[in-house]
């Protein structure tokens, strides 16, 4: 009786990153840094795809988990880009733009109304 050769190992469940933390953090930062709808939309999509990774791994769908991980990673990069753009816009508006003067005027109006 001949022995059956062992099957080659497939990707271990821990080898596919889900990027969930990155998706959540980049979504929060893009929302807080004045990106609004574009950053929120790509961030939520990144969270959804990141959440699918572990469930696909548990179901044995390694290829699907890898696709979901790659999609989540791309969406995380896009969301992070929106957050960086929002940060740059905020820095610009408070330094070169007239944002600080407008902020001071708004604070004076609030103090006068009290």
Q: Give the Cα separation of 52 and 66 in Å (integer).
A: 10
Residue 9 located in a structural domain: no
Confidence of residue 100 (pLDDT cuts 50, 70, 90): confident
Residue 28 located in a structural domain: yes
| Helical H segments across 1-114, by residue range | 20-32, 37-58, 62-95, 99-113
Question: How many separate domains does the chain show?
Answer: 1
Q: Give the Cα separation of 106 and 49 in Å (integer).
A: 41
- The per-residue b/e assignment along 23-37, b for 16 or more CB within 10 angstroms, e otherwise, is beebbebbbebebee
Q: Mean of the pLDDT values across residues 22-42?
A: 88
For the chain, report the end-to-end CA distance as a whole number of angstroms. Answer: 92
Q: Give the Cα separation of 21 and 2 in Å (integer).
A: 48
By residue range, what is the domain housing residue 66? 16-113
Confidence of residue 20 (pLDDT cuts 50, 70, 90): very high
Residue 38 located in a structural domain: yes
Residue 5 located in a structural domain: no
């Amino acid at each position: 009786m001949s022995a059956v050769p062992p099957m080659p190992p497939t990707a271990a469940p821990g080898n596919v990153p889900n990027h969930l933390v990155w998706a959540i953090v980049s979504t929060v930062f893009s929302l807080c840094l004045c990106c609004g709808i574009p950053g929120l939309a790509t961030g939520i999509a990144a969270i959804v795809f990141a959440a699918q990774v572990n469930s696909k791994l548990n179901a044995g769908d390694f290829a699907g988990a890898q696709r979901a991980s790659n999609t989540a990673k791309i969406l995380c990069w896009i969301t992070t880009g929106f957050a960086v753009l929002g940060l740059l816009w905020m820095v610009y508006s408070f330094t070169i733009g007239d944002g600080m003067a407008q902020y001071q005027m708004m604070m004076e109006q609030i103090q006068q109304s009290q």
